[in-house]
Amino acid sequence: MTAHRAHLLVCAGTGCVSCGAFDVRRALEDEVRRCGLEREVLVVATGCNGFCERGPILLVQPDGVFYQRLGPADVPRLVEEHLIKGRPVEALMYVPPRESEPVPRMKDIEFFKHQRLIVLSNRGRIDPERIDDYIAADGYAAAAKALAEMSPEAIVAEVARSGLRGRGGAGFPTGRKWEAARRAAGDARYVVCNGDEGDPGAFMDRSVLEADPHAVIEGMIIGARAVGAARGFLYVRHEYPLAIHRLGVALDQARGYGLLGRDILGTGFDFDLEVVRGAGAFVSGEETALLASIEGGRAYPRQRPPYPAERGLWGKPTVINNVETWANVPHIIRRGADWFAGLGTETSKGTKIFSLVGKIANTGLVEVPMGISLREIVYGIGGGVPGGREFKAVQIGGPSGGCIPRSGLDLAVDYESLKSAGSMMGSGGMIVMDEDTCMVDVALYFLRFAEEESCGKCSPCRVGTGEMARILAKITAGLGAAEDLARLETLAAAVRQGSLCGLGQTAPNPVLTTLRYFRDEYEAHVFDKRCPALVCKALIAFDIDPEACVGCLLCKKACPVGAISGELKKVHAIDQAACTKCGLCLAACPARIGAVRKTTGGAAGPRAGGSR
């Protein structure tokens, strides 16, 4: 085997691929070959590195030098300077927000240095399409231990003792679920991986499957041995083609190495896996709806109990865990329950992956220890809110989660703390919002999503989410009344209590938390007919400051409806009756002039429905 003096690790997750990572990889391979370095330098396409908005990303090892936002045109200079002359190229390195000096090494970048990697420990290190890379990183050692040295009872006990809880929703203890399935009556059992990730802004499962598919497969082998399953299913969204491709490659390689199929590793244990593509319905992520989809039916939830661990696929005991939960299992078996239980808090063990997106300087995928504060994530890892704007709220848990305000920045990120704040861990979406975000508009966005994605099987969800969305739309249009706030709360309680599945039961969370923490914004919309964040179109206006206007005609030319009047070098004006509030005039006005202004369209006056 050739020993290379340098490895060029190109991030080839979906984020970087969409920015041209494969072109960068080809350019590196061509340039390395042109310079006669192919025996010294190896180019490797890895999975997602996490720092998605900085892609395409390149990590040069063993130097640990981190390059970002590369293009094929950067490659000749990089190879010449770094690999031949030994001078890293500072111009291609990451420069932190509000700083001027680059940070050469990945381990010193704030985004990376505060994380604790378990599930993502192989990210950016191995080629996900090479099983030998995974094995070299201790891959399948846990499966070998579980199959050859541990009884099913011992495996379940170890997972239970670790304190691992499901990473896909409410956090049910994994060991208890496995024990229930192991003890349930039935002549066949199944294990299922829920990779139907449908939350807006979430990409945790996709990135794990793209970067480390063998970790999920290995976890499922161990889980199958623990509960006595001979067959398993990986349910993955059809919209994740790269993840599905890499899973297919990994499954073929695992079968070729005797890690799937009959008599695995000579232990007499038979088990195999099959990929099922989800059709894209959000409700398919609910476990009973997912099972119905695997069986070939429509993705409708069913009443529980019985739970899938007792009666799941085709009426047989079935263990369903999400991607991140399965990927934790090999680490627990290989390193021990005590090691895992030593991470996190008393009731929330281990780490959690979040997709950190929104109004945040550093966007990407992060893995942090349970119990870390929101402040450490937003300001330490995320680099704070860009553009000098103020942090306003963070939405955790997707449409099923809630919005936590600035006063909750020191909240510990664990199951119980988030629940007490009106939110939930969910699968791990984390959307940061700044002062320019209207919280009523945010609640409307998520309620419309819930309404559109409702399967329609039960009336509380089908009718309730739609009615709540209509009330919110009425409020953002400046037509709200005092009784609408009380009606929202009444409907939220009815939807929460009466919905058939967890998706409907948690759909009101964005409304309830924004009412709880940002009621003043609702009241401004309802009583003063204004949007404090200047977002809701019906409640804003655009005007021109006569003291600042220089008569450049730019705003007039940009207006698509001719609502702006004025001549060259003379003050312009906007006809409010004709203005459609598209905002093109504001975008066209040069920042150095700043004559076009967005203002509140309402005026404080007598409050509809009386005083507060």
- What is the pLDDT confidence band of residue 408, given thresholds at 50, 70 and 90? very high
Residues 162 and 147 in one domain: yes
pLDDT digits (tens, 9 = 90+) for 518-530: 999 999 999 999 9
- Domain annotation covers residue 275: yes
Examine the pLDDT at 608 and tell me if it is beyond 60.
no
Average pLDDT over residues 193-216: 91
Examine the pLDDT at 580 and tell me if it is beyond 50.
yes
Average pLDDT over residues 72-85: 97
pLDDT digits (tens, 9 = 90+) for 205-264: 999 999 999 999 999 999 999 999 999 999 999 999 999 999 999 999 999 999 999 999
Residues 315 and 169 in one domain: yes
Residues 176 and 307 in one domain: yes
Contact 506, 453 (CB under 8 A): no
Average pLDDT over residues 88-113: 93
Of 477, 506, 528, which residue sits at a domain end?
528
Residues 413 and 359 in one domain: yes
**What pLDDT score was predicted for residue 587?**
95
**What pLDDT score was predicted for residue 609?**
37
Examine the pLDDT at 354 and tell me if it is beyond 70.
yes
Examine the pLDDT at 67 and tell me if it is beyond 80.
yes
Residues 328 and 371 in one domain: no
- Domain annotation covers residue 443: yes
CATH code for the domain of 359: 3.10.20.600
How many domains does the chain contain in total? Answer: 5
CATH code for the domain of 332: 3.40.50.11540
- What is the pLDDT confidence band of residue 2, given thresholds at 50, 70 and 90? low
**What pLDDT score was predicted for residue 600?**
87
DSSP 143-208: HHHHHHH--HHHHHHHHHHHT-B-SSSS--BHHHHHHHHHHS--S--EEEEEE---STT--HHHHH
pLDDT digits (tens, 9 = 90+) for 108-150: 999 999 899 999 999 889 999 999 999 999 999 999 999 999 9
Average pLDDT over residues 536-559: 96
**What pLDDT score was predicted for residue 98?**
81
**What pLDDT score was predicted for residue 1?**
52
- Domain annotation covers residue 546: yes
**What pLDDT score was predicted for residue 108?**
95
Where does residue 171 fall: left (phi above 0), alpha (psi -120 to 50 degrees), or beta otherwise?
left
**What pLDDT score was predicted for residue 170?**
78
How many Å apart are CA 578 and CA 588, to the nearest integer?
18
- Domain annotation covers residue 120: no
Average pLDDT over residues 94-103: 90
pLDDT digits (tens, 9 = 90+) for 160-174: 999 999 998 778 999
- Domain annotation covers residue 612: no
Mean pLDDT of the chain: 93
Residues 568 and 504 in one domain: no
Of 414, 434, 454, which residue sits at a domain end?
434
Residues 310 and 216 in one domain: yes
- Domain annotation covers residue 119: no
Q: Tell me which amino acid residue 535 is.
A: V
Residues 367 and 408 in one domain: yes
How far, CA to CA in Å, does 195 sit from each of 181, 240, 255, 397, 427? 20, 10, 21, 16, 10
User: Residue 266 sits in which domain range?
Assistant: 131-341
Residues 167 and 246 in one domain: yes
- Domain annotation covers residue 116: no
Q: Which of 358-367, 395-404, 525-534 has the lowest mean pLDDT?
A: 395-404
Q: Which of 53-67, 202-216, 305-319, 388-402 has the lowest mean pLDDT?
A: 388-402
* 332 contact partners, CB below 8 Å, separation of at least 6: 142, 158, 159, 162, 164, 339, 340
Residues 137 and 103 in one domain: no
Place of tokens 């000098």: 388
- Domain annotation covers residue 172: yes
Examine the pLDDT at 283 and tell me if it is beyond 50.
yes
Of 341, 367, 390, which residue sits at a domain end?
341
CATH code for the domain of 49: 3.40.30.10
Residues 359 and 488 in one domain: no
**What pLDDT score was predicted for residue 70?**
97
Q: Looking at the chain, how many residues does it have?
A: 612
Residues 274 and 413 in one domain: no
**What pLDDT score was predicted for residue 497?**
93
pTM equals 0.92
CATH code for the domain of 512: 1.20.1440.230
Average pLDDT over residues 330-352: 96
How many Å apart are CA 553 and CA 563, to the nearest integer?
13
